[in-house]
Chains A and B, each alone.
Chain A
Amino acid sequence: MAATLVGVIAAINTLTPLATQLINQLRQSGETDEQVIARARALVAETRKITEEDMSDKA
């Protein structure tokens, strides 16, 4: 019984991130080219902001 419970929990732990990623991929697969590029630009801008802050001397 305990082994089954552990197995179920392990399966849920494995499947949840996979399901989330699958849903995200399916959602993104409906994007137009413009939306894909807009998302990529937003990611690049966010990465630039993070790295510029982290390149500074601030703690």
Chain B
Amino acid sequence: MIQRQRRQLATLLLIAMIAYTGSGFACSSSDVSKVKKKVADAAAILNTAAKSNRSLYQSGTYGAVGSPEAIGKRQKVATVIHQANEYLSLAVERAANLQPSDLETGKTDIVKLLQEATAVLGSLNIGNENIRVVLQSAVTAINAAVTLTLAIKGGS
């Protein structure tokens, strides 16, 4: 009885995982649209990192809220996220003007900007494991967006 229920749960989880993994590829769209979506995904990731930085400060993870040490750490993290976000802003504007005729050039420009963003994010270490994981996750996710953007082939 329990074994059967476990099997059903495992099947349910497997279906959910397959549906989740496949959802990124489920809907066909033009290559230009795909690139734009990847840039928007990167913007969402960085937005989450900025919110996480604030949450970590407010929860006292950086030290007592209001203390110079905690504010200093929050500022350092906010600064690198801000710089990365400015690169991303340029990538968004480049994506906004992207046309099928300049897909390859546009992809190169966008990938370069996303890589600049990840380089900035990866340059900071304030000795806090939580924010290190948040920033590393953002770098990993943006790198995934870079890989997927590079994998998009023109023509469809």
> Which of B84-92, B101-109, B121-129, B146-154 is the contact stretch?
B84-92
Residue of B nearest to A48 (CB): B85
In the bound complex, how far is the Cα of B14 from the Cα of A11, in angstroms?
A: 11
In the bound complex, how far is the Cα of B79 from the Cα of A41, in angstroms?
A: 19
Structural contact, A37 and B6, CB atoms closer than 8 A: no
Structural contact, A55 and B23, CB atoms closer than 8 A: no
Structural contact, B27 and A29, CB atoms closer than 8 A: yes
Structural contact, B5 and A47, CB atoms closer than 8 A: no
Within 8 A of A (CB), among B18-43: 19-20, 23-24, 26-27, 29, 32-33, 36-37, 39-40, 43
A→B interface (CB under 8 Å)? 3-4, 7-8, 11, 14-15, 18-19, 21-22, 25-26, 28-30, 33, 36-37, 39-41, 43-44, 46-48, 50-57, 59
10 tightest Cβ-Cβ pairs between the two chains A and B: A54-B78, A51-B82, A59-B66, A40-B40, A43-B43, A29-B27, A50-B50, A51-B78, A40-B43, A40-B92
Q: Can you name 7 A-B pairs with beta carbons within 8 Å?
A: A7-B6, A36-B40, A40-B36, A48-B86, A50-B47, A54-B54, A57-B75
